[in-house]
Amino acid sequence: MISLKYIKAGTKKYWRKLKKYIILHYRISTSRWRKLPDFIIIGTQKGGTTSLFYYLYQHPELSFSHKKEIYFFNLYFEKGLAWYKSHFPFRTNTKITGEATPSYMFHPKAAGRIKSISPNVKLIVLLRDPIDRAYSGYAMGLRRKTDTANTFEIAIERELKFLENQSNTDEYTLEKHELYYLERGKYYSQLLPWIEHFPREQLLFIKSENFFQNPENELTKVYKHLGISMVLPKDLSKKNAGKYNKISPGTVHRLEAYFREENEKLTDLLGKEFIWHTSSSLPQD
């Protein structure tokens, strides 16, 4: 006989799925009366976006999508605009509204897609030392079990082989989304489509290390960018912070050479603030 506890567990699972379906259907059916975001945090992954989202969530003049990462403009674009709008408040909500999907910056078509739907949206970009960002991304993959590479160095070699065998550089594959740690750190190349599609005044660039060290100072830049009052959050604790071992000096030296050209172009583009002199310090995420 089937145990009663399994019947109860199955029943609860069924009702959870049904409830989720009803809520989604309601949100989509009312999407025509819902807002599009006034701002989007587009990157970078492991650059402090979870903490920034949490701090902004505390601001009385802001509202947000009902979940942090929607992935519409990179993974779920085929679901359509009604599905995307279903994540946001009704237009009767007068607060400035935003979302945060830090993997948008990495997708080659995301900038054009956002421009076509919300051309006046304000964009926020956090940029972290690409070596530290890569290692942090790898560590997150281990925690989430999306990566099984025993060492960071093995993960690097695997990615380089992916790149050698990749026939279509614009194709956004599962390997790219989950297992590309180095390519995500090529910020200059990733930012070109965004600068092409949006005027510079709609883009705010923040150095993640500055944000980690002095969040109040960087938040004032965000508030000014969004046109909201300077009301700092009561809780400035870090979110989604990881614990890491040091990256080996040999790997650091290798990756400094790997990122050198991209970093120099980024400095020319954004200014001397975006220079990373040393790596493997791995500040909080």
Tell me what pLDDT residue 169 has: 63
pTM of the entire predicted model: 0.90
> Which residue in the block uniquely carries the two structure tokens 């281990």?
142
Please determine, for residue 75, whether its predicted confidence score (pLDDT) is greater than 50. yes
CATH tag for 13-270 (out of 3.40.50.300, 3.40.50.620, 3.50.30.30, 3.90.550.10): 3.40.50.300
* Mean pLDDT for the stretch of residues 242-265: 90
pLDDT at 77: 97
pLDDT of res. 1:
46
pLDDT of residue 10: 66
For the chain, how many residues are written? Answer: 285
Alpha helices (H) in the chain, listed in sequence order: 4-29, 49-57, 81-85, 110-117, 130-144, 152-165, 174-179, 187-197, 208-213, 215-226, 249-270
Here the tokens at position 97 are 């509204």
Confidence tier at 9 by pLDDT (50, 70, 90): low
With a cut of 70, say whether residue 19 has pLDDT above it.
yes
pLDDT top residue among 255 and 7? 255
Average pLDDT over residues 240-253: 81
- Residue 283 has what pLDDT? 47
Tokens of 170: 């614009």
For the chain, what is the mean pLDDT? 90
For residue 213, pLDDT over 80 is answered with yes
CB 58 within 8 A of CB 235: yes
Q: Give residue 239's pLDDT.
A: 73
Distance CA 196, CA 191 (A): 9
Query: CB of 148 within 8 A of CB of 229?
Result: no
pLDDT over 70, % of the chain: 90
Q: What percent of the chain clears pLDDT 90, i.e. is strictly above it?
A: 75
- Picking from 113-117, 263-267, 274-278, which range would have the lowest pLDDT averaged per residue? 274-278
pLDDT of residue 230: 95
168 pLDDT band, cuts 50/70/90, is low
Provide the pLDDT for residue 4.
58
What are the beta bridge partners of residue 41? 100, 124
Instruction: Please state the rounded mean pLDDT for residues 27-47.
Output: 96
Residue pLDDT, tens place only, 76-106? 999 999 999 999 999 999 999 999 999 999 9
Cα dihedral across residues 177, 180, 182, 188: positive or negative: negative
Taking 50 as the threshold, does the pLDDT of residue 203 lie above it? Answer: yes
> Which has more confidence, 284 or 164?
164
- Torsion 43-44-45-49 (CA) sign: negative
